[in-house]
Chains A and B, each alone.
Chain A
């Protein structure tokens, strides 16, 4: 029986490949997952059986159940990693909350409004690559470069961040951070911005390797 985490990884990889319009055959999936083709084939068979993916002439694509499972996994991951898990008290609260059944109501409790929940759902659905590859902006060390994936919060905050230049896909460099959970300073579009730790921790980013960074002013 394959591990649940492997299945989720497979679904995220297959989803990304098919959304990019690339073929999602065993060989591509295997190389993305750094597994042997043999192991990958077993995994694919297992998810096919559970109806999480469908066969196409281009390999596989996610079924509706598969999409839903990925989305739920990503949502839970964001909830666990970025919304809770910032401080000990938060972590305890997260444990006490236990398994959330009413996600919509739950995001409301975290200061999200309907509009931002919708947007959040869509981003979670369309995210390219694995959710585990994203990190919180607040966790990046000084000097690190990254691109913005999304800001998870009420639409007032999301909009203000976008207006200050932190739109999805923007390159950001961490300049410095203040001590004891103070704010962090980032450089974005040639301007220095100070972001409170609470806000920075809710900005999900993807790390950039040095070779990937474009030369921006």
Chain B
């Protein structure tokens, strides 16, 4: 009897309700993070053992609704309806019950076996809000467990309820809407049951009927594939009637219905003990989202993030580079040269080991401190404030405030920034943000600007170059915004209250992101460096340099040897300086480059193809074709702008 039994449980809920915190509490370190098949939507999965059960927990993306407007929503509802997990745990924020119940009601429409985790009851209590769990459970017809995810309160009870519901396989019951809506749904349900036997074996017929009434694009498409044109026609007629009565689009009518239900349930189960006082979060907001003081705070936050990243990064970089260049690369070389021909040894030591070294020396020094700080900023709730303040500026390049977040990431490293573009709503906005991000000077490019222009021509010149790049970003963003078809989308974003970030959660995020970075970037960096080693061993590198020389010498006005570092720079941008020093045999760049050449060199490195790791990230997020287009476009742009800079500057000089 007590043989190992298996259960699948998924967590559903709004963003910012502590869903991930519950996931972490339940699964500890046994988690894998990846993407949903074929989608750029993150999928987190973990396992745990409880009362003889092996429970697989899947963390669905945070959504506010179950309509078909975003990939996250489609992924979530298809998972619940089609994969049919044994239990769905709906994580609900006790301090904003009404809004959270909107999703709960939509989950109930799918009638899965459901358990509600009423989370953040401590935070709600601080705001003077108590929720009567018995009453809530009675009204919704499903078990409700009060939890505090950050401290783990209620986790055992939650699991007991999950097992209980799974054992009885109790599916939640339907919720009833207003009369006319109910009548229309019932009418359509009959039609769906008889006319769409295949589809209604996958999804609950009542749910299909509701979605038809709302004119849900995804469901309509599925029905059309199922030869249900007549049914869609019938649904349209009924939806028209509803719209005639209510005077609003049927989707808005349904939203109003759900909200009025949510508000009724919330009103009967919530008690407000003390009148809401001005809390810490509001005091912080009065400064950080203030129309004047907000901006210096934002500038201060950004400046301190980057100074910390650079200080920490530079400290580590020296140690790690020494380890690889002085110890590991020579060590493999001497070890392998006993058994293998020198060409292969060169490929392995100079390609594979050196490539891993190059990757490690970027990952550890800059990325990790950056991810830690980012985690703190995210968990504290500051990023939406930054987006709020920057919305206006972002609109100038056709994006809205949320895009400021990936752009900010881009200054650290373009790879996580490309992934960060997922927060944008539409495909167009995602790609536009992704394109702009590749032009943001990342940590590696900043090193070049500082190490070449800053060191020899002064900080003012470096700053000017930086500003020039930002102006370029702005200009190109505007051009892309005009060229790409589609309407710009306005900002609609929740501003969650400020919270104290938890060390554990921040470290976990950092670890997951670093791992993700390693998977995306390492194969490309190592593979690329093997290819370049091969070119240099076979002597093809000089052919490449010769081939490029008309471009590098006559158009860009650079010395012939500068072409080679520019090619290598694809792997890792700050490498261009190291290589240039190698080839010239000196670290004193003023002896090989004129001031104008320095600026041109920096401009070209700054703009041309994002590094291989970024191209890989772009390909994963937007497809190979778009990634290639961005890479080619950036390269052409770099050559054009670099050449123009050379001709203009040398003319002026």
**Chain A residues proximal to chain B, CB less than 8 Å:** 111, 115-116, 118-119, 122-123, 125-126, 150, 154-165, 167-170, 176-183, 185, 189-199, 217
Is A189 in contact with B291, judged by CB distance below 8 angstroms?
no
A170 surroundings in chain B (CB, below 8 A): 259
B249 surroundings in chain A (CB, below 8 A): 115-116, 118-119, 155, 158-159
Which residue of chain A is the closest to B248 with respect to CB atoms? Answer: A119
B392 surroundings in chain A (CB, below 8 A): 178-183, 197
Is A167 in contact with B259, judged by CB distance below 8 angstroms?
yes
Distance from A126 Cβ to chain B, minimum over Cβ atoms (Å)? 4
Given A167-B259, A189-B96: A177 and B391 interface contact (C-beta under 8 Å)? no
Which residue of chain A is the closest to B395 with respect to CB atoms? Answer: A196
What separation, in Å, do the CA atoms of A127 and B210 have in the docked complex? Answer: 27
What separation, in Å, do the CA atoms of A71 and B41 have in the docked complex? Answer: 45
Distance from B650 Cβ to chain A, minimum over Cβ atoms (Å)? 40
B67 surroundings in chain A (CB, below 8 A): 159, 163
**Chain B residues proximal to chain A, CB less than 8 Å:** 64-65, 67, 69, 95-99, 102, 129, 215, 243-244, 246-249, 251-252, 255-256, 259, 263, 266, 270, 272, 276, 285, 289-292, 294, 384, 387-389, 391-392, 395, 400-401, 487, 489-497
Max chain B C-beta neighbours (<10 A), residue from A119, A170, A195: A119
What separation, in Å, do the CA atoms of A122 and B244 have in the docked complex? Answer: 7
Is B255 in contact with A159, judged by CB distance below 8 angstroms?
yes
Which residue of chain A is the closest to B389 with respect to CB atoms? Answer: A178
Contact of A163 (CB < 8 Å), options: B248, B255, B395, B401: B255
Which residue of chain B is the closest to A190 with respect to CB atoms? Answer: B96
Given contact pairs A122-B247, A196-B490, A217-B266, a sample of 10 additional A-B residue pairs in the complex whose CB atoms are under 8 Å apart: A125-B247, A167-B255, A169-B256, A170-B259, A176-B289, A178-B289, A183-B392, A192-B494, A194-B495, A196-B391
Is B494 in contact with A179, judged by CB distance below 8 angstroms?
no
A193 surroundings in chain B (CB, below 8 A): 492-495
Is B251 in contact with A159, judged by CB distance below 8 angstroms?
yes
Contact of B401 (CB < 8 Å), options: A123, A177, A183: A183
12 contacts between A and B (CB under 8 A): A122-B246, A162-B256, A163-B255, A178-B294, A178-B388, A185-B495, A190-B97, A191-B99, A191-B494, A192-B495, A196-B400, A197-B391
Distance from B395 Cβ to chain A, minimum over Cβ atoms (Å)? 7
B256 surroundings in chain A (CB, below 8 A): 162, 167-169
Contact of B389 (CB < 8 Å), options: A156, A182, A196: A182
Number of A-B pairs, beta carbon distance below 8 Å: 149
A167 surroundings in chain B (CB, below 8 A): 252, 255-256, 259
Is B487 in contact with A111, judged by CB distance below 8 angstroms?
yes
What separation, in Å, do the CA atoms of A126 and B289 have in the docked complex? Answer: 38
Distance from A75 Cβ to chain B, minimum over Cβ atoms (Å)? 14
Contact of B492 (CB < 8 Å), options: A122, A123, A199: A199
In order of increasing CB-CB distance, the 8 nearest A-B pairs are: A196-B491, A122-B247, A162-B255, A196-B490, A199-B490, A182-B392, A192-B495, A179-B291
Which residue of chain B is the closest to A181 with respect to CB atoms? Answer: B392
Max chain A C-beta neighbours (<10 A), residue from B215, B244, B291, B387: B291
Distance from B443 Cβ to chain A, minimum over Cβ atoms (Å)? 29
A156 surroundings in chain B (CB, below 8 A): 69
What separation, in Å, do the CA atoms of A177 and B294 have in the docked complex? Answer: 12
B102 surroundings in chain A (CB, below 8 A): 163, 165
Is B64 in contact with A164, judged by CB distance below 8 angstroms?
yes
What separation, in Å, do the CA atoms of A108 and B547 have in the docked complex? Answer: 53
B496 surroundings in chain A (CB, below 8 A): 192
Is A182 in contact with B388, judged by CB distance below 8 angstroms?
yes
Distance from A18 Cβ to chain B, minimum over Cβ atoms (Å)? 16
What separation, in Å, do the CA atoms of A198 and B487 have in the docked complex? Answer: 13
Distance from A154 Cβ to chain B, minimum over Cβ atoms (Å)? 7
What separation, in Å, do the CA atoms of A155 and B243 have in the docked complex? Answer: 13
What separation, in Å, do the CA atoms of A184 and B391 have in the docked complex? Answer: 10
A183 surroundings in chain B (CB, below 8 A): 388, 391-392, 401, 491
Given A191-B96, A217-B98: A119 and B494 interface contact (C-beta under 8 Å)? no
Which residue of chain B is the closest to A160 with respect to CB atoms? Answer: B492
Given A122-B247, A154-B487: A190 and B400 interface contact (C-beta under 8 Å)? no
A176 surroundings in chain B (CB, below 8 A): 285, 289-291
Is A217 in contact with B129, judged by CB distance below 8 angstroms?
yes
B255 surroundings in chain A (CB, below 8 A): 159, 162-163, 167
Given A162-B256, A163-B67: A196 and B248 interface contact (C-beta under 8 Å)? no
Distance from B596 Cβ to chain A, minimum over Cβ atoms (Å)? 38
Contact of B95 (CB < 8 Å), options: A125, A161, A185, A190: A190
Which residue of chain A is the closest to B73 with respect to CB atoms? Answer: A163
A190 surroundings in chain B (CB, below 8 A): 95-99
Which residue of chain B is the closest to A186 with respect to CB atoms? Answer: B495
Contact of B490 (CB < 8 Å), options: A155, A179, A180, A198: A198
Which residue of chain B is the closest to A200 with respect to CB atoms? Answer: B490
Is B291 in contact with A195, judged by CB distance below 8 angstroms?
no
B129 surroundings in chain A (CB, below 8 A): 217
What separation, in Å, do the CA atoms of A109 and B391 have in the docked complex? Answer: 24
Distance from A176 Cβ to chain B, minimum over Cβ atoms (Å)? 6
Max chain B C-beta neighbours (<10 A), residue from A111, A123, A157, A167: A167
Is A162 in contact with B251, judged by CB distance below 8 angstroms?
yes
